């Protein structure tokens, strides 16, 4: 009876489970097939950890009034810099230029102060079937007649 129990027990357990130190080199790592797809790689674990740390920093910043004030100042500075960089384009679009708005826009385009579809940075991950990729900003906001519209004078 005892030998039958030991024999059936040894059939269930592998040698790797009985003596892991002695036979670890001979026993391969167990792979479960379909369920191996759900294991995380080291890269995925590192990305998760970085995202978690970033979330913790955000939460700490929200709790601390001094950190929150510094964050709001930094955001206000970034916004002011963005607005200042487009000031000349916005003035031209509102008609505060001498002459034709289109000529002024072409001049700004030649100087590199206006981003167009030809000069915009495109997303490399969205290149498919001959497409150059998506653009991450609005191109219509950089056009010359966005505020007043264009009317052909010959009509």
Confidence of residue 96 (pLDDT cuts 50, 70, 90): confident
Residues 131-149, mean pLDDT to the nearest whole number = 75
pLDDT tens profile 56-90: 999 999 999 999 999 999 999 999 988 887 788 88
Confidence of residue 4 (pLDDT cuts 50, 70, 90): low
Whether the per-residue pLDDT at 26 is higher than 70: the answer is no
Confidence of residue 131 (pLDDT cuts 50, 70, 90): confident
Residues 121-140, mean pLDDT to the nearest whole number = 74
Residue 55's pLDDT is: 96
- Token pair listed for 87: 């000031």
pTM beyond 0.85, yes or no: no
Per residue, what are the HEC states of the chain? CHHHHHHHHHHHCCHHHHCHHHHCCCCCCCCCHHHHHHCCCHHHHHHHHHHHHHHHHHHHHHHCHHHHHHHHHHHHHHHHHHHHHCHHHHHHHCCCCCCCHHHHHHHHHHHCCCCCCCCCCECHHHCCCCCCCCECCCCHHHCCCCCCCCCCCCC
Residues 139-154, mean pLDDT to the nearest whole number = 76
């Amino acid at each position: 009876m005892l030998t039958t129990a030991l024999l059936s027990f040894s059939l269930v357990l592998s040698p790797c489970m009985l003596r892991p130190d002695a036979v670890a080199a001979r026993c391969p790592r167990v792979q479960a097939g379909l369920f191996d797809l759900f294991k995380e790689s080291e890269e995925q674990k590192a990305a998760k950890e970085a995202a978690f740390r970033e979330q913790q920093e955000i939460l700490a910043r929200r709790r601390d009034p001094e950190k929150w004030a510094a964050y709001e100042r930094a955001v206000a500075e970034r916004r002011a810099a963005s607005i200042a960089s487009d000031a000349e384009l916005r003035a031209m679009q509102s008609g505060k230029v001498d002459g034709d708005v289109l000529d002024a826009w072409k001049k700004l385009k030649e100087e590199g102060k206006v981003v167009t579809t030809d000069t915009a940075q495109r997303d490399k991950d969205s290149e498919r079937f001959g497409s150059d990729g998506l653009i991450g900003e609005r191109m219509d906001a950089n056009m010359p007649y966005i505020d007043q519209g264009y009317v052909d004078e010959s009509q």
